[in-house]
Chains A and B, each alone.
Chain A
């Protein structure tokens, strides 16, 4: 059976036509006041001090940031989170990441297998493509945060 890959939310990150190394979250930036929005704002700039007259242009967010905080989910979250009630619950890790250039914090799940023991506030992480869940017809794709490998940092 072939599943179609689909983003869990359209337009929030680059698609499969982009090489994995160039995977990015996608926000928008106001051309009038330079405010950045993620999740993307496509209708109106939300900066009340914006002079107006701009448009909201798609912009990739920084691929790396530093951990603002982190936690995990030891119990199965309620729907619409998708999980198989017949399979024992596997905790996942949640990371809030501070992006310096955008001066904002973005949440995401950590890459599979990353536990809270491997994270620390201030540690560097990078965004990578991931799979949220699969059903009969689709592989639902998402973004994950992954600690930047030690050898890469040094």
Chain B
């Protein structure tokens, strides 16, 4: 097994704090180091997940956090893969550990977000698909979430109430999480009374954009044992797959899919291939899971992930929601952290935060959100422009 140990997990609470992303990331890093019982000087390598919204320091996040913690000469890496940046940072750290380049790696991601819709980088850039989708179509991120939601309604008979119940479930979990931004239970009526943003999705169906930071201290299994961690949480697989041609599902920021006229589409969609690669590497399947953290950019998208990580067949996600399988106390709770519904999106921190939640669940320290006897968890998410992100953690 290519296991590595998770020695420490730490987060800065999500919210709109009005400070620099550096302060959130540094706070998360210090919390993760304290959790691991290690000093910053023990870290041989730091990997930062970049943010594109905070100027140059955000493009070189690894160095920015290293400077904030105090230069100590560690190997430094900065990675960007949109929402999948955190998984790439974890993947990079793992590769360094398994290659023997570092015993202990600190992974950090943090963001400070503007109010309202995410917008593309400035300037006149007609060669950039992300710029073009705004210029030509005004297609915001929620517009794409709404296209998927409407399609589910047409294909599977999902309803606005089904979507609202995802929010209700996640808000209930988030209310138990001191790190979440939104900590109030929400009713289906409140979701259905909120303003329509992009038909059929309403404000409370769509995740907010937040400030936040998350960090992990990862090490080799040998280092963990030497330092008294006999049974640490382990990362067993990291999937960072890209799509296969032709990519037949419309994704952000596409204006069109690839054509499947000359070459037929792959048997599996891109989203389904993300978890599949993680399962294959970990040698487990969906039946082995105790819990999952998935990227609920919208309520409807959470249902899509149930299907894409193999919890059920296509179109059956709503059934798992309705029968309570994926709620706290159910057979396979999904988004025990409260998910993006309760956190809002802090792009480079999010995939790392998902693994923080798995870590606390697998240690049995998740408090009121604890999944009894949790042994195996998966995270899943997708970064725009074709970045898969899934992590399997076990104990």
Question: Chain B's nearest CB lies how many Å from the CB of A73?
Answer: 6
For A8, give its contact among B119, B135, B155, B195 (CB under 8 Å): B135
> B143: which A residues are within 8 A, CB to CB?
71, 73, 94
Q: What is the chain B residue whose CB lies nearest that of A93?
A: B199
Number of interface residues of B (CB under 8 A): 46
CA distance A69 to B200 in the complex (A): 11
Interface centre among A9, A47, A94, A106 (most CB of B within 10 A): A94
Given A9-B126, A79-B134, A108-B137, CB of A72 within 8 Å of CB of B256: no
Q: Which residues of A, 18-33, contact B by the 8 Å Cβ criterion?
A: 30, 33
CA distance A52 to B120 in the complex (A): 34
* B68 within 8 Å of A (CB atoms): no
B119 and A96 contact, CB distance less than 8 A: no
For B116, give its contact among A69, A72, A78, A81 (CB under 8 Å): A78
B197 and A104 contact, CB distance less than 8 A: no
Q: What is the chain A residue whose CB lies nearest that of B202?
A: A74
Q: What is the chain B residue whose CB lies nearest that of A83?
A: B138
| 9 nearest A-B pairs in the assembled complex, by CB-CB distance | A121-B154, A71-B146, A78-B119, A77-B138, A103-B260, A81-B138, A36-B259, A80-B135, A69-B147
* A131 within 8 Å of B (CB atoms): no
Given A39-B255, A46-B258, A106-B256, CB of A8 within 8 Å of CB of B136: yes
Number of interface residues of A (CB under 8 A): 47
* A102 within 8 Å of B (CB atoms): yes
Q: What is the chain B residue whose CB lies nearest that of A132?
A: B136
For A77, give its contact among B117, B129, B148, B154 (CB under 8 Å): B117
> A4: which B residues are within 8 A, CB to CB?
none
* B250 within 8 Å of A (CB atoms): yes
Given A78-B117, A104-B256, CB of A70 within 8 Å of CB of B150: yes
Question: Chain B's nearest CB lies how many Å from the CB of A84?
Answer: 13
A9 and B140 contact, CB distance less than 8 A: no
Q: Which residues of B, 44-83, contact A by the 8 Å Cβ criterion?
A: none
Q: Which residues of A, 106-124, contact B by the 8 Å Cβ criterion?
A: 106-109, 116, 120-122
Q: Mark A84-102, 1 if CB is under 8 A from B, else 0.
A: 0000000010101000011
Q: Which residues of B, 189-221, contact A by the 8 Å Cβ criterion?
A: 195-201
Q: What is the chain A residue whose CB lies nearest that of B265?
A: A103
Q: Mark A20-64, 1 if CB is under 8 A from B, else 0.
A: 000000000010011111110000001111000000000000000
Question: Chain B's nearest CB lies how many Å from the CB of A65?
Answer: 11
A46 and B245 contact, CB distance less than 8 A: yes
CA distance A68 to B154 in the complex (A): 9
Q: Mark B327-349, 1 if CB is under 8 A from A, else 0.
A: 00000000000000000000000
Q: Which residues of B, 117-149, contact A by the 8 Å Cβ criterion?
A: 117, 119-120, 124, 126, 129, 131-140, 143, 146-148
A71 and B198 contact, CB distance less than 8 A: yes
Q: What is the chain B residue whose CB lies nearest that of A104?
A: B259
* B262 within 8 Å of A (CB atoms): yes
For A109, give its contact among B137, B197, B248 (CB under 8 Å): B137
Q: Which residues does B use to contact A, with CB under 8 Å?
A: 116-117, 119-120, 124, 126, 129, 131-140, 143, 146-148, 150-151, 154-155, 195-201, 245-246, 248, 250, 254-263
CA distance A7 to B161 in the complex (A): 42
Given A103-B259, A104-B258, A106-B255, CB of A69 within 8 Å of CB of B139: no
A75 and B134 contact, CB distance less than 8 A: no
> B254: which A residues are within 8 A, CB to CB?
107
* A105 within 8 Å of B (CB atoms): yes
Question: Chain A's nearest CB lies how many Å from the CB of B248?
Answer: 8
Given contacts A79-B119, A94-B147, 16 further A-B contacts (CB under 8 A): A36-B259, A38-B259, A46-B258, A68-B147, A77-B117, A78-B117, A101-B261, A104-B248, A105-B257, A106-B255, A107-B137, A107-B139, A109-B137, A121-B150, A122-B154, A142-B136
Question: Chain A's nearest CB lies how many Å from the CB of B128?
Answer: 10
CA distance A101 to B262 in the complex (A): 10
B255 and A107 contact, CB distance less than 8 A: yes
CA distance A48 to B242 in the complex (A): 13
B117 and A9 contact, CB distance less than 8 A: no
For A38, give its contact among B137, B146, B256 (CB under 8 Å): B256
A35 and B262 contact, CB distance less than 8 A: yes
A68 and B151 contact, CB distance less than 8 A: yes
CA distance A69 to B250 in the complex (A): 10
Question: Chain B's nearest CB lies how many Å from the CB of A14?
Answer: 16
CA distance A49 to B147 in the complex (A): 30
B139 and A74 contact, CB distance less than 8 A: no
B198 and A49 contact, CB distance less than 8 A: no
Cβ contacts A to B, 15 pairs, < 8 Å:
A8-B135, A9-B126, A35-B262, A39-B132, A47-B262, A68-B147, A71-B143, A72-B198, A74-B196, A78-B116, A78-B134, A103-B261, A104-B248, A104-B260, A132-B136
Q: What is the chain A residue whose CB lies nearest that of B129?
A: A39
> A9: which B residues are within 8 A, CB to CB?
126, 132, 136
CA distance A103 to B249 in the complex (A): 11
B261 and A34 contact, CB distance less than 8 A: yes
Interface centre among A82, A101, A105 (most CB of B within 10 A): A105
